[in-house]
Structure 1
Amino acid sequence: MELLRRLSEASGVPGREEEIRKLIREALVDHVDEIQVDRLGNLIAHKKGPGPKVAVAAHMDEIGFLVSHVDEKTGYLRIEPLGGFDPRTLIAKRVTVHTRSGPLVGLIGTKPIHILTEEEKKKKVEMKDLFIDLGLPGEKVKELVRVGDPVTLRQGFSEVGELVSGKALDDRVGVYVGVEAMRRLSQHQADVYFVGTVQEEVGLRGARTSAFALAPEIAVALDVTLACDMPGVQEHEYITRLGQGVAIKLKDSASISHPGLVQFLIDLAEEEKIPYQLEILPRGGTDAGAMQLAREGAAAVTLSVPTRYVHSVVEAAHKRDIQAAIELLVAFLARCHQADLKL
């Protein structure tokens, strides 16, 4: 899991995915026929085949921030979110501010409980209340930091029992699954494109442009999904469970999966004895939503890695589920030319 560790610990907010592009290129350069980067920043790796044309997408970007204001007197920074945050998860976290002259470590601070009023204790935390402390005088901060500098959360990648945990598993674990599948795929008829997409967290933007350019017949998104198998959640709200296998998505807010692809994946998983579960996500979407609508449309589906604590720095996925996702994707790409796409 060394590659997954490196992907998780790397930084790449929407629009600034260059570190992730470099890692993917290094991992795939000896395993694909060609690699290119389009104008938006999507990395497209191609394994040639007679057809059908298949695009497999996993987004490279992570939720993060841009510096929106630098206080010249105090040195404190204000931030603009890129992607969806629960502000409660951000209190007392370390961040990296990526400046022109190099990275700076910062702290998201808050007033200590000792001086909070009763009214302040009851107040809901909001993004506008958060600030970053770089531990430097205001004039030095003004010299080093400018509005628009990216900010990412800091967190090491760890193995926790049977799980792996870290920041940005959404969607570096999807990138990892896609890269590993491309490296293992040998016998295939499909014309396969793996796309590391950009700006998914702010509107599926990279998937939209890359799918328009590639015009795939089949589109597969790789992403995390919610695993809410935890205290305080009723069983019917779990969505998925850790350790029960890769999730084959039926529906989310952005797409309805092609029924022929869903059944083909189910049949493959059962034939190959790959653990799987079916998923309906009531809120949220993946790159499949954009790829499905490209040009005249594509038959689309999402393979998901169940993940706890999504959009936090302790996102957690089960090693068996990650392995199941890789195995099912490899099996699918090797045999997807046999799938019945007629409706």
Structure 2
Amino acid sequence: MELDWSVLQRLCETPGIAGHETRVAEVVRAALEPVVDELRVDAMGNLIGIRRGRLARRVLLAAHMDEIGFLVRHIDDNGFLRLQPVGGFDARVLVAQRVHVWTRSGEPLLGALQLATKPIHLLTTEERKAPALEDLYVDLGLPAEEVRSRVEIGDMVTLARDFVRLGPTVLSKALDDRVGVFVMLEALRHLERHEAEIVAVATVQEEVGLRGAQTAGFGLEPDVAIALDVTIAGDVPGIEAHDRITRLGAGVAIKVFDSSHIPSRPLIEHVREIAARHGIRYQLEVLPRGGTDAGALQRARAGVPAVTLSIPTRHVHTVNEMAHVEDIAAAVDLLRRYLAEAHERTYQPYSW
């Protein structure tokens, strides 16, 4: 099974924060259209691809298009920009990064994300402190008049970083969750047979409260739902063994718990059986804090059996998110094999 890594690169390098997913949606549309029978967009901006099956049973796949980023909140008299975070950032990883400010003309301006403080040479010990997001500003290196003529309040700001391969891993901003979108696209591309109807949704606004998934779940009324997202791979210095969640290179993660949902146990067991039957490496995941689109899908209407298949990722919510190609391939393989037999079970919570 050969995966098209150029698609993942385009997904990761295309900007699109919550509420501003238009550019990345076009990349998804181009890859999704050839593998579905119908393609449409709902009022929220979710991109919905429907692949018809022989049976009425409906399986919904969800992977979010939006990345974390910023909006321009203020332009001061000197042309420096203050930002509104859109999604969860740790200010410690942002100082001295480069960003793109996406103006209404469509052309990005490159800027430096800096800390509003004196240089370290001039700071006293008492003045040194951990950075906060409100202390950051963007320096575009342009005269104030030009900044005000080209930038306006509400313009999207994303971190500027390329997608690269490092041995058996990929490194990029926005693997959360462009890699989940990639897994969904590649599973559909490699799927040979299925009986259930498959509804593949590239969702919007996940990073600000699972908003796209909530409307998609209510509007599409699935019989079962699978979210595709990243999870923490904590196999790095500074994290104790009991806090590592998953390890890079140990296989796709099958979620057992996170703070947004408790997955369907019968569905978890079905997915595990498929993995064991086909020799697909997997690890079980308990994530104490954080959630996925499955949290919204599970509670749609009268309830939906749901689970998340996760791609272990180091350095989540930084510009250096890292995933292992074998874990990504395992996620694609497990999802496509599940879809081939998704019609065979109903996932009742009790056997009586």
User: For residue 171 of structure 1, what is the aligned residue in structure 2?
Assistant: 177
Distance in 1 (alpha carbons) for counterparts of 2:211 and 2:33 = 25
What residue number does 1:279 align with? 285
- The aligned runs of 1:68-87 (5 Å cut-off) are 68-71=73-76, 73-87=77-91
Matches within 5 A, 1:162-311: 162-311=168-317
Please, which of 60, 66, 79 is the counterpart of residue 55 of structure 1?
60
Q: Secondary structure at the match of 2:311?
A: strand
SS of equivalent to 1:41:
coil
**Aligned structure 1 segments of 4 or more residues deviating by more than 3 angstroms:** none
TM-score by length of 1: 0.98
Question: Considering only aligned residues, what root-mean-square deviation do their CA atoms show, in Å?
Answer: 0.8
In the TM superposition, what is the alpha-carbon distance from 1:186 to its structure 2 partner?
2.5
* Farther-moved stretch of structure 1 (98-107 vs 313-322): 98-107
Deviation of 1:85 after TM superposition, in Å, equals: 0.4
What secondary structure, in the 3-state scheme, does the structure 1 residue paired with 2:341 have? helix
For residue 180 of structure 1, report the CA deviation from its aligned partner.
0.5
Contact 1:170 1:310 in 2 (8 A): yes
Aligned to 1:113: 120
1:24 aligned residue: 28
- 1:200 & 1:120 partners in 2: Cα distance? 37
Question: Which residue is 2:149 aligned to?
Answer: 143
User: C-alpha separation between the residues in 1 aligned to 2:175 and 2:285?
Assistant: 19
The one-letter amino acid of 1:56's match is L
Instruction: Give the one of 132, 139, 143 matched to 1:126.
Output: 132
Whole-angstrom CA distance in 2 between matches of 1:141 and 1:117: 33
Percent identity reads 53
Residue 340 (structure 1) shift: 4.3
* CA shift for structure 1 position 255: 0.3
**Deviation digits for residues 164-186 of structure 1, max 9, x if unmatched?**
01000000000000011111112
Contact 1:109 1:133 in 2 (8 A): yes
Match of 1:338 in 2: 344
| Of 8, 19, 22, the match for 1:4 | 8
Tell me which moved more, 197-206 or 234-243.
234-243
The number of equivalent residue pairs is 341
Cα distance in 2 for residues equivalent to 1:16 and 1:190: 32
Unmatched runs of 5 consecutive residues or more in structure 2: none
Comparing 102-111 with 253-262, greater Cα deviation is found at 102-111
Match of 1:65 in 2: 70
Counterpart CA distance in 2 for 1:317 and 1:194 is 23
Separation in structure 2 between the aligned mates of residue 231 and residue 340 of structure 1, nearest angstrom: 43
SS at match of 1:29: helix
**What does residue 35 of structure 1 align with?**
39
Give 1:342 deviation, angstroms: 1.5
AA partner of residue 67 (structure 1): V
The one-letter code sitting in structure 1 at the alignment partner of 2:230 is: V
SS in 2 for 1:114: helix
Q: Give the Cα separation in 2 of the matches to 1:88 and 1:120.
A: 16
Q: For 1:92 and 1:36, how far apart are their aligned partners in 2?
A: 40
Hey, what's the Cα distance between the residues in 1 that align with 2:182 and 2:91?
A: 28
More off after superposition, 110-119 vs 304-313: 110-119
